[in-house]
């Protein structure tokens, strides 16, 4: 799992929005970041492919 500082598609800077304390999944903490260009919000670090199912379950 890598820490992402830039959104891989538009290469724009990501700003940390907040660290949600309610979003613990499997004991892992991750931040919500927002792309300064397209305003897309995503998590950092990104979930691994084999773990992404559990992230959706907590939605």
Nearer to Zn ion, 8 or 27 (CB): 8
Cβ 47 to Zn ion, closest distance in Å?
Answer: 18
Considering beta carbons, is residue 14 or 30 the nearer one to Zn ion?
A: 14
Shortest Cβ distance from residue 8 to Zn ion (Å)? 9
**Helix ranges, the chain (H):** 52-57
CB 32 within 8 A of CB 45: no
What residues make contact with Zn ion under the rule CB under 5 A?
A: 7, 10, 12, 35, 37-38
């Amino acid at each position: 799992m890598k820490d992402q500082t830039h959104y891989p598609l538009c290469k724009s800077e990501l700003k940390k929005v907040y660290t949600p304390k309610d979003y613990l999944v499997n004991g892992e903490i991750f931040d919500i970041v927002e792309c300064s260009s397209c305003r897309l919000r995503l998590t950092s670090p990104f979930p691994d492919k084999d773990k992404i199912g559990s992230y959706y379950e907590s939605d």
